[in-house]
Chain A
Amino acid sequence: MKYGVNEHGYYGDFGGAYIPEMLYPNVEELRQQYLTIINDPDFKAEFDDLLKNYVGRPSPLYHAKRYSEKYGANIFFKREDLNHTGSHKINNAIGQILLAKRLGKKRIIAETGAGQHGVATATVCALMGIECVVYMGEIDMARQAPNVSRMKMLGATVRPASSGSKTLKDATNEALRDWIANPVDTHYIIGSVVGPYPYPDMVARFQSIISEETKKQLVEHTGKELPEYVLACVGGGSNAMGMFYHFLDDEQVKLVAVEAAGKGVDSGHSAATTFLGHEGVLHGSRTILMQTPDGQVVEPYSISAGLDYPGIGPQHAHLYKINRALYVSVTDDEAMRAGLLCSQMEGIIPAIESSHALAQLEKMKFNPTDNVVICLSGRGDKDLDTFIKYFGY
C-alpha cells in the first residue's frame, strides 16, 4: 500500500514508537506477532464469524434519498451505528481481544473518552471471559454516566483517571501506567489509530472492514466500486481510517476528514488538531498535536466527547501533510443542527461525532451524478441528554 506504514512504523514523517523502555517488551511482542496472527486463516475465520453473527455485519450502505435530493448528489450512509454496542468501535475490540487471546494474555485494559470504546471493550471481555479494567477521566465519567453503568453491568472495572485534565488523554496516560506495571499478563486495547507502532496500523486494519464492505455495496447500488467523495469525522481517527482504508490508493476518490472545531477554531475551545496543532510526540507516536510553544499538551474542547482529543493518528497526520485527504472542521452548533436534520429527514439519530461528518455536506458543492459516502460511525442514544439540553426538547 502506497500510504501504508514502513518497517520502522512510520508514515512519512509520522508514527514510530516513542515509548519508555518499560513498555518496549509489550509493544515489541505485538510488533513481531500482529501480522502473523491477524493473517492466520483460523484468526480470520473467527474474526469474520464474530463480525457477522455477533456484531451484525455487514453494516448496510443506505442510500439516503431525502438527503440526496437536498444536497443534489447520491448520498450514502455507511451504517456503523447499527453495529452491536452502537458504533464502529466494536470492530477493533473484537480484533484485539482475539489477538490478546492468542498472545496468552489474561487481563485487558483500555482507555475511553465518551465510553463507546470502553463499552465495546467491556463487551468483548464478557464474551471471552477475560478480566477488564477501563480507565476513564473523572470528568468524562460524570458527563457519560450511562456508559459507566453499561461497562459495570458488563462486568468491567471502571477506574477514574484523576490526574491532569481528568479526560481522555489522562485516561490514556493511566492505562499506559497500568501497562508498565503489568507487562506480562496484560494487553492494552487502544481504541483509536493512535499510540506507538504497531497500534495505528493494527487498528486501521481491524477498522478497514468498513471500506472493504463499502466498495462491494457501492457496486450493488451504483454499478461502480468507487465514489467521488468519502467523508468521516476525526478525533483520533479510527472510523475515518477504516472508511478511507481501501480507497487510499484510488487517487480519484476525494477523502474528507472532519475535525471538531468546538466553539470555533479560534475560540480557544476547539479540537481542530490540523488547524491548531504542530508536529510533536503524543502517546507514543510522532504526529500533529495541540500544544503550547513549550511542548505541553493542550486540553482540547468539543461538545462531542469522542472527538475531544488533542492529537490525530500518525497516518492522518501523513495524509494531511501530503494532501491525500482534505481536513476540515465543523463547530458544535453546525454538528448539533446536522444531527437534528438527520433525525428529522432520515429518521436516524446520529452520534454527535458522526453529526460532524454530516454537517460538512452543507459546505460542499456536488455534481448531480456524484456518489458520496458518509461514515455514520455511531448512534445518538448516548447523546440524547446533550441533544435535549441543546435543543430544549
Chain B
Amino acid sequence: MNRLNQLFAAKKNNLLSIYYTAGYPALNTTVDIAEALEKAGADFLEVGFPYSDPVADGPTIQHSSEQALENGMTLNQLFEELTELRKRVTIPILLMGYFNPIAQYGVERFCKKAAELGVDGVIVPDLPMYEYEALYSAHFINNNLSNIFLVTPQTSPDRIRKIDELSNSFIYLLSSSSITGGSLQLTNSIEDYYKRIKAMELKNPTIIGFGISDNATFKKACEYANGAIVGSKFVKLLAEEGYMEKIPVFVRDIRP
C-alpha cells in the first residue's frame, strides 16, 4: 500500500488532482507549489518533469516545458528539490514525463530515487504496456511505485482489461483522443465511452484527465469516474503574477 492506495481506499468520489510542470515558472518552486495545493484541498498531485519533444502535450504544457528546460530543470535538479517533499507534504505525489529522460537516468535508479524521496507513482505517456511489462515493471514494483496507464475512447475492451490487471492504483481516462489543453466536449460518443468504462466495473479506480478546466467539467467527469485531473488550466495560472496567493481560489473554483 502506498499513499495512492490509501487515498483511494478512503475516498471514492470527487477526487481532485492537479498537474504542474516542475521548474515552471522558476526553479525551486516544486515543493512550495505542492504544499500550497495540499493546503488548498487537492487530493493528489502530478509533477511533470520537462522534455524537449512532448508529443502528447498542447501549447500550454509545451511552453511550460520549454521554459522549465531554459530555467535549468533536469531530473537531478527535480530530485534535489524533492528532498524536502515529505517534511512538508503528505498527499500522494506522481511524477509525469516522457521516457527518454528516465532512460538516460536509468530506469532502476530513477525508480529507487523517486521512491526514496516519497514519490508514489509515475505516469510515462510514451512507455507502452508491452515495453513496461517485458522490460521495466520489476523496478516499479520493487520500489512500491504505481505505474499509471492511459485509456482513450479508442482503447479496445480487451486492452482495458489488460491495463486493469497491470495497474495497482488508478487508471487515467483521457476525456478525448487529443493532446493536453483542449476543452472537455461531452458528445454522445464520449458519454457512451464513459458509460462503457463504468459498466466494465474495473478493479482500479478511474480518474479523468485532459480538458478539465472548471467546476462544470469537473462535476461532469466525476459522474463517471472517481475524480479528475486539472493540468493546462493550472499551468496557465502559474504564468500570472502572485500565483501562490491565487492557488486557494483556483482549487475552490474547480471543486467548491
Interface residues in chain A, defined as those with a beta carbon under 8 Å from any beta carbon in chain B? 8, 16-22, 24-25, 163-164, 169-170, 173, 176-177, 180-181, 183-184, 278-284, 289, 291, 293-297
Contacts and interface: CB of A to CB of B under 8 A. Distances in A.
Contacts of B105: 294-295
Contact of B62 (A20, A163, A281, A297): A163
Given A19-B128, A21-B155, A180 B178 contact: yes
Given A16-B131, A22-B150, A180 B56 contact: yes
Given A25-B154, A173-B54, A177-B55, 6 more contacts: A21-B152, A164-B53, A169-B53, A282-B100, A295-B104, A297-B100
17 contacts: A16-B130, A19-B126, A20-B56, A20-B126, A24-B154, A24-B155, A25-B155, A164-B62, A180-B55, A183-B154, A284-B126, A294-B74, A294-B76, A294-B101, A295-B75, A296-B100, A297-B100
A173 B55 CA distance: 5
A79 B57 CA distance: 41
B8 interface: no
Interface in B129-186: 130-131, 134, 149-152, 154-156, 159, 174, 177-179
Listed from nearest, the 8 A-B pairs whose CB atoms lie closest are A295-B101, A295-B104, A21-B150, A25-B154, A294-B74, A20-B125, A296-B52, A20-B56
A181 B125 contact: no
Interface string B31-75: 000000000000000000001111110110010001001000011
A297 B56 contact: no
Contacts of A177: 55-56, 58, 179
B204 to A, nearest CB: 15
Given A173-B55, A183-B177, A296-B52, A20 B104 contact: no
A21 B104 contact: no
A296 B53 CA distance: 8
Contacts of B104: 278, 280, 291, 293-295
A181 B159 CA distance: 20
A50 B54 CA distance: 38
A42 to B, nearest CB: 29
Nearest to B210: A22
A18 B127 contact: yes
Nearest to A181: B178
Interface size class for chain B? 35 or more
B103 interface: yes
A281 B128 CA distance: 12
For the residues of A in contact with B, the DSSP-based class is mixed
Contacts of A18: 99, 126-128, 131
Contacts of B76: 294
B174 A22 contact: yes
B82 interface: no
B202 interface: no
B177 A181 contact: yes
Contacts of A21: 125, 128, 149-152, 155, 174
Contacts of B131: 16-18
B55 A20 contact: yes
Contacts of B103: 279-281, 295
Contacts of A294: 74-76, 101, 104-105
B102 interface: yes
Contacts of A170: 53
Nearest to A170: B53
Contact of A296 (B62, B69, B159, B178): B69
A89 B152 CA distance: 33
Nearest to A162: B59
A181 B174 contact: no
Nearest to A296: B52
A121 to B, nearest CB: 20
Contacts of B159: 24
B169 to A, nearest CB: 17
A291 B128 contact: no
Contacts of B74: 294
A219 to B, nearest CB: 43
Q: Give the interface centre of A19, A22, A173, A291 by most chain B CB atoms within 10 Å.
A: A22
